[in-house]
Structure 1
């Protein structure tokens, strides 16, 4: 049977305060790194959803294109936050905080540019695909992902 010895300097039992502090600080450091990486991955996933929404809106507008009509692109509103599609099925921002936005710009209902503001700022270099910055309040080159009409 094991003999229980009293705790002495030569026979320590348990961990010292320094050892516990080192372990706790390592765990805290790794937790902070993990949380930062997780937040970055979430932002990239939300931007991916915004890009998919823009592609879906662009495809819907292209499917409604009628070259013989005087208004080939039927869009209800060009204003940010307005009704983007005539069906009323606007995309909802995956962030859910209302800071990001979707916009459609229609020029005389002959051409369109549909855009979404990205969190990570890795959108089109010039914003609207025509060599100039996307003109919207607070727009910076590269912060918006846009698609132009294909017709």
Structure 2
């Protein structure tokens, strides 16, 4: 019971960190705010975002493996596969902004165009809107929905 509680705490903390840093990216990536310092900060925030995303995946896998219900119960539930699919989509959508942020930093002191910033911000916003779907599926999964 203590292990399950610790794993749940770590998983939720990782999810909250992911949301905080995804939101920070969206807030910083605005055409009216873009300057060299913001580009540098975006790269740093994005790096922390990826650490949080990795923590979400690892703590989620730990919960599935060592949690109370056991790996067998989780892996046969379609909601877990929905969560994993949403996470893979999130990973794929998050990769493009990361590459853009790094490209912007490499091009400094030249700044990205307004169109580029708007496009990247839109990508960040789309990915941040996928994030809540993952815990939504988790809530139902934790309560036994989707099992056989």
Q: Tell me if both proteins adopt one fold, taking TM over 0.5 as the criterion.
A: no
Which structure features the higher share of helix residues? Answer: 2
Give the TM-score category using the shorter length: 0.3 to 0.5
Which structure features the higher share of strand residues? Answer: 1
- Length-normalised TM-score, structure 1: 0.35
Say which structure, 1 or 2, has more relative contact order (CA 8 Å, 6+ apart). Answer: 2
- Length-normalised TM-score, structure 2: 0.35
